[in-house]
Structure 1
């Protein structure tokens, strides 16, 4: 099975995937990258640690074959609306 490497960018932080994982095809690696990006984003983005998480997938020759990004945008309403009623 082909081996794919997953490098992760969280804002300014970069984590290089050293060992890689084996998947039967690129579609399977893509699903894993999407699930990983979503999971990392779910944990980090609401805390304000990063506004975007990117998973870069490379093949066995370390050539990038896929990039998955998850981002969050927060827009607060100013001034904060007053409560009406009770």
Structure 2
């Protein structure tokens, strides 16, 4: 199995993953990034009118996948 690292960007904050996860393939890493991103959106997005967050996946050779989510909440004008 190969080790994948999941670095987090939450707005301007960057959290480097130094532990990583051993997964069988890139598809498993993609699923892990998708799950992490949806959990981030659920937990960290509350009460923020505009935000961008991302999971940057890398292996021992460098970056291999970026998953990001942006949202904007604003009142509608009539």
TM-score, normalised on structure 1? 0.82
Correspondences of 1:1-86 after superposition (within 5 Å):
1-48=1-48, 51-61=51-61, 63-78=62-77
CA distance in 2, matches of 1:75, 1:49: 7
Structure 2 residues without counterparts, runs of 5 or longer: none
| Structure showing the higher strand proportion among its residues | 2
CA distance in 1: counterparts of 2:43 and 2:50, whole angstroms: 10
**Root-mean-square deviation over aligned CA pairs:** 1.6
**Structure 1 runs of 4+ with >2 Å offset:** none
Gaps of 5+ in 1: 80-86
Q: TM-score, normalised by structure 2?
A: 0.90
